[in-house]
Structure 1
Amino acid sequence: MRQSRPRWVVAGDLNGFFGLVVDNLSILGFIAAALIGIFGFPAEVVFTRMFPGTALGVLVGNAIYTAMARRLAARSGRDDVTAMPLGLDAPTSIGMALLVLGPAFVAYRQQGMTPDAAAMATWKLGMASLMVMGALKFALSFVGEAVTRAVPRAGLLGSIAGIALVLMGFLPLVEAMRSPVVGFATLGLLLFVLVAKGRLPLRLPGVFAVFLIGTALYYGLGAAGLGAPGFHWPQPAPLRPALPWPSLGFLERLPDTVPYLPLLLPFGLLMVVGGINVSESARAAGDDYRTRDVLLTEAVSTLVAGLCGGVAQTTPYIGQPAYKHMGARSGYTLLTGVFIGVGGMLGVVAGLVQWLPLAVLAPIIVYVAIDITVQAFQATPREHAPAMVLGFLPSVAYMLAIKVGNPAWIAPDRFAQLSTALDGHGLPELAVVATLGNGFIITAMLWTSAVAAMIDRRLARAAAFLAVGAVATLFGVIHSVQPQGALQWPGALDGLQRTIALQFAGAYIVLAALMLLLLPFQRGATISGSKSN
């Protein structure tokens, strides 16, 4: 029966609203907990500068997706059209906090800035980073499918899976286990609800119920004197409305994004790939949204957020069919956008986030890491699994570089000594670790893509990926020899830095040449999914 005016809200929209709101709150909570708790970032800047613009991006994107769903419902005469869910992207938002904003704040402090000045500089850097990613997503919205054809799925998903397992999985797990009773119990309940598909004796969405239980456990144990050392009751500031006005302040720190481009560009590219995938997923569920419209919406909402002070990019979530099964239609995205957007401006979201302990928030990030890694293996050809595993290793190198570069672990003068000392067994070990870690996402994409091409016996294609790796190495896009991973000019390098750059670039060139030399011998060799004669 034709229904030209679909209802704004149906019962299923409330289920979708709770699920989508919890997803966004958990990511905002982790950003705040990581910046404030791990890096000592001033809370005032996080809650009154970063959050309002970030939340505005969620409001804009969900409003557009709501309008798209209502237009599709009116055009098709169907009353079961479900809007595309939009929110903050978990991997890149967490990556921004742990790999860009936090380290940048520390670097600004080391330059002699006061905490407040360093925080403001970091905020503007976050805005500039979001504008860079948004601009990339906007441009790729028109050619996104061509990009995905150039890079194999193993290369795209394997690189993000490495981040997920090593950085999103391990580092938040450590934070959760600093309050082991609460952290482990929360993680276990999340796995029970989300992985084992168990049911809790509460008539609430599973993740929301786990958050309530974990938070109650944290404060209950703390009040009884049984909490982990350092427990304290939060002292949230009073609600302070902060409107996300457009600002060109990001231009001041736009040059500072250059060292982070090896992170930011893959972050933006992966969201385009994700947008294409979720569009296909929604189409398979019966809602035929135009892929370009889905991609343009996430690009526009990211640009609006960055222009207005946001620091985390938005993306359409992959769970559109799941929300459809909940009975959600177009109202849940509008409700979520209004709650997060207006709540972020009025300080309500900041108030909620301050009461969510890191020991409760970190486990959901661990689960997301597990889910991303599993999906990466499930969505790629089985024979490409070894290539994906190889792609995890640059993330390990980056994590080690983060830890051993921490002055609390190794004194700076000792670190510098170990990074330059030659022992007759090749390049200095710490220098190799740092060089492997710099540009680790693109490194993982190239390694995985090259090995996947080898597995498919497409050796010329493998050589092409390796040649790109050689050029990228010389200019510091990957394997930068600069301490902060900055881009470099090959002719300006000297000494050990020049040696390392040439050795790493030479490694790619030699392997690429070997692939080309082996081409004539591949007739009749095994190709993926088939056997040789």
Structure 2
Amino acid sequence: MNTSSKPALFVSSDFNGFLGLLVDNISVMAFLATALIGIFGFPADLVYTRMFPGTTLGVLLGNLAYFVMARRLAKRSGNAQTTAMPLGVDAPTSIGMGLLVLGPAFLSYKQAGMDEHAAAIATWQLGMASLVVMGVFKTVLSFFGPLVQRHVPRAGLLGSIAGIALVLMGFLPLLEIMKVPMVGFAGLGIVLYALVARGAMPWNLPGVLVAFVVGLLLYLVLGPLGWLGHGYHPAAAWQWRVALPWPTLQWIHGLPLTLPYLPLILPFGLLMVAGGINVTESARAAGDNYNTRDILLVEALATLVAGCCGGVAQTTPYIGQPAYRAMGARTGYVLLTGIVVGLGGVFGYLSNLVELLPLAVLAPILIYVAISITTQAFEATPQRYAAAVVFSFFPAIADMVAIKLGDPTYVPREHFVALYNDASHGISELAVINVLGNGFIITSMIWASFVVAMIDGRPRRAASILLLGGALTLFGVIHSVVPTGSLYLPWALDPALRSISLQFAGAYLMLAVVLALLSLQPRNTAQA
């Protein structure tokens, strides 16, 4: 082992990775701001001067820690090609916090008689307290990450994360691109040409930068000409919103407010732990052997600090580490991203970028990362397990459909509940989609794991995994029958919902019994 090899602080390809990770973070922040301000009418100033600074502080601290970890790993392994783990604001749970917790809470506080400012402050305190609860929860769970990693097959770990990549990081941003196709599709094509087809860019410029510039120019030129229809929105005046993310105890006032939302908040934290395990396995498959506990612990502490300083969206190690490695990024890109995003929350230029840039310009890099992660799930998993990887995608697809169907801009809440409860022909299709999508990361891991066990000729192990799935189903950890995805005690459910829960849990039990009986048959040695 060559321990004398010292990686450069920055390499030219770090700029590619920096742009990709920066765009990832800006995209998520833009989604969060759009949900709160555009859908629920939340005061924009509070979002940009209270929520953004604390949230971006978590991104800064987490990326600084991952930068140090990567430098140490490179020195210890003698591998100058080590790529740092990327960290940023988590997309699925940030969208979930906006649509399922913060937005509805803000409306309910106003309906209870609070004026808009008081309701907004209470919602902000709820968001901070939620982050603190998730940070503490994830800190405890981080010490059990390696245990899970040793017992869940790679197909389960990578398959579940590839499902997220394909439908949440790939398909949903693709919708944003095709809302303004004359802008977004050109940028997407450039990203695919430069990063997938490995085509050369003029003057050796990074492909992500070229795609970003071309998309922005098309937007700024074609928009005023009227060629983009309602997809063009004139930029707001630039504002310097200077706001330091000072530690505050206001989150304590929000703790009592979290009680009704704990069934949502705790699963959000659990999903991040499961996702952190998966991305560490993804990095290991790509060649960077990070310690799972350390990756999870850094992310948990970054979330905790962000909550104590005004943040409302949790951080996570991003699932695209192999994609950044393929870009040629090493360690410097996370340092640059942390500084730019962290200072952007303080000095307000991040909020101005969110207001200025259309999602169609930001989304192409997300789609490339999604393609890279999905591809890796098949390349890093033995070919005989490919069916298990594919099977693990279905719960993520259901979650994506449920997100769209549950969006109040598409289906009014009262209509959604009415359709959900329609049991005139058995379990309603909408309920099936929602139940299948709730807890989808853990569901995907269970599904891939029992299929891997069957492929390996271990039906009894597959049966035991299914029994675990059935037990988790009873309490809503997976397949929650409540439309919001919350946990529950099965005997406390409404009879109609209890029936659905028992049917889903019974399905796992029935298949476990079938596999246990099949295990009594002589093993097919020719198949083995």
Aligned twin of 2:386: 385
Instruction: Select between 235-244 and 42-51 the one with higher mean Cα deviation.
Output: 42-51
> What is the DSSP-based 3-state SS (H/G/I as helix, E as strand, rest coil) of the residue aligned with 1:521?
coil
Deviations 1:454-484 (A, max 9, x none): 1212112211221112111211112222221
Q: CA deviation at 1:219?
A: 0.7
Equivalent-residue separation in structure 2 for 1:221 and 1:243 (angstroms): 37
Q: Would you say 1:305 and 2:318 are equivalent positions?
A: no
Equivalent-residue separation in structure 1 for 2:488 and 2:22 (angstroms): 39
Equivalent-residue separation in structure 1 for 2:35 and 2:295 (angstroms): 35
Q: Would you say 1:271 and 2:276 are equivalent positions?
A: yes
Cα 1:149–1:69 change in 2 (3 A) is: closer
Q: Would you say 1:24 and 2:21 are equivalent positions?
A: yes
Given that 2:88 and 2:316 are in contact with CA atoms closer than 8 Å, whether structure 1 keeps it comes out as yes
Cα 1:449–1:192 change in 2 (3 A) is: same
Aligned twin of 1:356: 357
Equivalent-residue separation in structure 1 for 2:301 and 2:33 (angstroms): 29
Aligned twin of 2:461: 461
Q: CA deviation at 1:521?
A: 0.7
Q: Which one of the candidate residues 246, 264, 267 is aligned to 1:262?
A: 267
Q: Would you say 1:186 and 2:187 are equivalent positions?
A: yes
Q: Would you say 1:104 and 2:107 are equivalent positions?
A: no
Equivalent-residue separation in structure 2 for 1:55 and 1:62 (angstroms): 11
Given that 1:176 and 1:360 are in contact with CA atoms closer than 8 Å, whether structure 2 keeps it comes out as yes
Q: CA deviation at 1:178?
A: 0.8
Equivalent-residue separation in structure 2 for 1:349 and 1:420 (angstroms): 42
Q: How does 1:231-250 map to 2 (within 5 A)?
A: 231-248=232-249, 249=251
Give, as a single letter, the amino acid of the residue that structure 2 aligns with 1:27.
Answer: D
Q: How does 1:36-75 map to 2 (within 5 A)?
A: 36-38=33-35, 40=38, 42-67=43-68
Query: Which blocks of at least 5 consecutive residues in structure 2 are unaligned?
Result: none
Instruction: Select between 36-45 and 503-512 the one with higher mean Cα deviation.
Output: 36-45
Q: How does 1:10-409 map to 2 (within 5 A)?
A: 12-13=10-11, 15-16=13-14, 18-38=15-35, 40=38, 42-67=43-68, 84-88=84-88, 93-111=90-108, 113=110, 120=121, 123-135=124-136, 137-248=138-249, 249=251, 251-255=255-259, 256-275=261-280, 277-278=282-283, 281=286, 283=288, 293-310=294-311, 311-315=313-317, 318-319=321-322, 322=325, 333-407=334-408, 409=410
Equivalent-residue separation in structure 1 for 2:376 and 2:158 (angstroms): 8
Instruction: Select between 432-441 and 310-319 the one with higher mean Cα deviation.
Output: 310-319
Equivalent-residue separation in structure 2 for 1:4 and 1:518 (angstroms): 56
Given that 1:473 and 1:504 are in contact with CA atoms closer than 8 Å, whether structure 2 keeps it comes out as yes
Give, as a single letter, the amino acid of the residue that structure 2 aligns with 1:456.
Answer: D
> What is the DSSP-based 3-state SS (H/G/I as helix, E as strand, rest coil) of the residue aligned with 2:87?
strand
Cα 1:314–1:362 change in 2 (3 A) is: same
Given that 1:53 and 1:306 are in contact with CA atoms closer than 8 Å, whether structure 2 keeps it comes out as yes
Equivalent-residue separation in structure 2 for 1:80 and 1:356 (angstroms): 36
Give, as a single letter, the amino acid of the residue that structure 2 aligns with 1:198.
Answer: G
Instruction: Select between 193-202 and 259-268 the one with higher mean Cα deviation.
Output: 259-268
Aligned residue-pair number: 513
Give, as a single letter, the amino acid of the residue that structure 1 aligns with 2:355.
Answer: Q
Given that 1:384 and 1:455 are in contact with CA atoms closer than 8 Å, whether structure 2 keeps it comes out as yes
Deviations 1:286-330 (A, max 9, x none): xxx76655554344333323332331314276259949956x6x6
> What is the DSSP-based 3-state SS (H/G/I as helix, E as strand, rest coil) of the residue aligned with 1:88?
strand
Query: Structure 1 vs Structure 2: percent identity of aligned residues?
Result: 47
Q: Would you say 1:495 and 2:495 are equivalent positions?
A: yes
Cα 1:176–1:119 change in 2 (3 A) is: farther
Given that 2:134 and 2:268 are in contact with CA atoms closer than 8 Å, whether structure 1 keeps it comes out as no
Q: CA deviation at 1:453?
A: 1.4
Instruction: Select between 54-63 and 353-362 the one with higher mean Cα deviation.
Output: 54-63
Q: CA deviation at 1:283?
A: 5.0
Aligned twin of 1:472: 472
Cα 1:280–1:388 change in 2 (3 A) is: closer
Instruction: Select between 197-206 and 268-277 the one with higher mean Cα deviation.
Output: 268-277
Q: TM-score by structure 2 length?
A: 0.85
> What is the DSSP-based 3-state SS (H/G/I as helix, E as strand, rest coil) of the residue aligned with 1:461?
helix
Q: CA deviation at 1:217?
A: 0.9
Q: CA deviation at 1:211?
A: 0.5
Q: CA deviation at 1:341?
A: 2.2
Equivalent-residue separation in structure 2 for 1:38 and 1:491 (angstroms): 35
Given that 1:158 and 1:445 are in contact with CA atoms closer than 8 Å, whether structure 2 keeps it comes out as yes
Q: Please, what is the CA RMSD of the aligned residues?
A: 3.5
Query: Which blocks of at least 5 consecutive residues in structure 1 are unaligned?
Result: none
